[in-house]
A and B are shown apart, each in its own frame.
Chain A
């Protein structure tokens, strides 16, 4: 018996050392850069450029944050635009994903297979390829250089994955619930919006947050479709305004990195439970 137990726990000392070393190294790689940005932002510019670098700020200062809020407040216009676009895409994406996700999960017909194939394929095309033509199409429609046009263009890019994600949540709802309501004479749309949608609230949350995070990250749509500085979004604004010159103000850049990341990190960790379940479901189904 002892022999069996021994063979189940066959982790040798060497194996354990290697295991923890691998774990520590990968975690160092993933987390240290974040720590490094954080400490640099709280250093004075002098200290940030010191060789050898200090691993903890000697003169802890919030100067660069104050500077960002007072001198470089153009940043907050980009920030506000990014918030508007991300929130709008997330909300509309939820609605569209509920409609098509339900249809995809319940409608067993050749039609659904075509829609599914179309959604899968449309995730593959590079954004630049679309932008070459959207640039002139949106120009003709008169919605180039507007947040509305930007929202529609990004929305189309997020919708395919979100629908597939949403349909995997709908598939998890037992059909019997709907059939019972059907027998009672409820029509299809009542069943969907009154009975089924409340059951997939957590899936809806996952879809909304996913769309928000992906839109917050957008660079290419905004870089090509927006030329007016007052309508720029975060990534493009940062790249054009603060990375233009040869030498960057690195304290400012690190501060911007933190302020630009904080909202999405907070949202992600607050709703992590739903997000992780959603990501796994969406990826494995798609």
Chain B
């Protein structure tokens, strides 16, 4: 009897492990091995020539890293990446929480608004880049016209993507447009966890709107905030198609991020080794940021 139980348990274990095989094969073959392989390649002289002739790369004494560190554009790309992530995530957080709070009240048509709000999230990334490029267009764009009207025809050449000081914000606007809906949706779901009786009790005790927000809503929303903000950090850290379509990294590298730099090194200059060196450094930064974010969040929760 005991033996039979044991064999049943064994076959069950085998069944569960077998179920995981297809997913594990896919993830290991197309994610884990390539990631490790790209880290290895970052220490090698490896170009398109190696792929064509089938010759393996050769260890080159950290030359790829030395080359990358010497590029002025590497530090610029790092600063741009962080500026983009911090800017987009902060603004997105504020706007999404405002939108979620207003949609969670008893205003008319909230249901309809909640569903139509999601449309930008569905629009493909390259197409959202096109939509904003048309609005930002230097000669016929709507924004140039509106800025002209508002400034009383004093600013007549407003081209957000062509100016090195504003180009990053221009791409940021397109990113916000596409990402605010999902974060709002997650916050709306999180707001369902805020107990109504505690809110009412606080109101009767005379707690004002801001007090209620910071002392009741925010703590109950905290787990959802943690997840959605970390999702947003990772997504914006990795953002590529928006930059590549809208600016290609220009003007004057003002929108060159680590994603753009690594793509350019690997697939435009065809130096896969140097490209891999950039992506390796980029991954290390991302892991550090996500780790620190989780640490900061945990200590704040304890307090």
Contacts and interface: CB of A to CB of B under 8 A. Distances in A.
A124 B287 contact: yes
A99 B19 contact: yes
Contact of B122 (A8, A111, A224, A265): A265
Most buried by A among B16, B223, B224: B16
A129 interface: yes
Given A100-B22, A130-B35, A30 B117 contact: yes
B286 interface: yes
A16 B228 CA distance: 28
Contacts of B267: 131, 223-224
Most buried by B among A4, A31, A100, A163: A100
A145 interface: no
A132 B203 contact: no
B226 to A, nearest CB: 10
A189 B140 contact: no
Given A109-B16, A156-B26, A235-B125, A268 B118 contact: yes
A204 interface: no
Given A127-B240, A280-B186, A283-B231, A31 B116 contact: yes
A13 interface: no
B38 A132 contact: yes
B204 interface: yes
Given A10-B209, A22-B98, A153-B30, A135 B51 contact: yes
A126 B282 contact: yes
Interface stretch (B71-79, B82-90, B160-168, B177-185): B177-185
Interface in B122-136: 122-127, 130-132, 134-135
Nearest to A237: B126
B227 A286 contact: yes
Most buried by A among B27, B37, B123: B27
A188 interface: yes
Contact of A220 (B29, B237, B241): B241
Contacts, number: 271
Contacts of A213: 122
Contacts of A33: 120, 131-132, 135, 177
Given A30-B117, A163-B23, A235 B37 contact: no
Interface size range on B against A:
35 or more
Interface residues of A, number: 98
A235 B26 contact: no
Contacts of B116: 31
Interface of A: 4, 7-8, 10, 15, 19-20, 22-23, 26-27, 29-31, 33-34, 36-37, 40, 48-53, 95-97, 99-100, 102-103, 106-107, 109, 111-112, 115, 118-119, 122-137, 139-140, 152-153, 155-157, 159-160, 163, 188-189, 213, 216-217, 219-220, 223-224, 234-235, 238-239, 243, 250, 253-254, 256-257, 260-261, 264-265, 268-269, 272, 276, 279-280, 283-284, 286
Given A129-B262, A250-B134, 8 more contacts: A26-B98, A34-B119, A118-B24, A132-B272, A160-B27, A188-B11, A219-B125, A284-B186
* A-B CB proximity, top 8 nearest: A156-B30, A133-B37, A129-B279, A107-B16, A100-B23, A235-B126, A133-B34, A219-B241
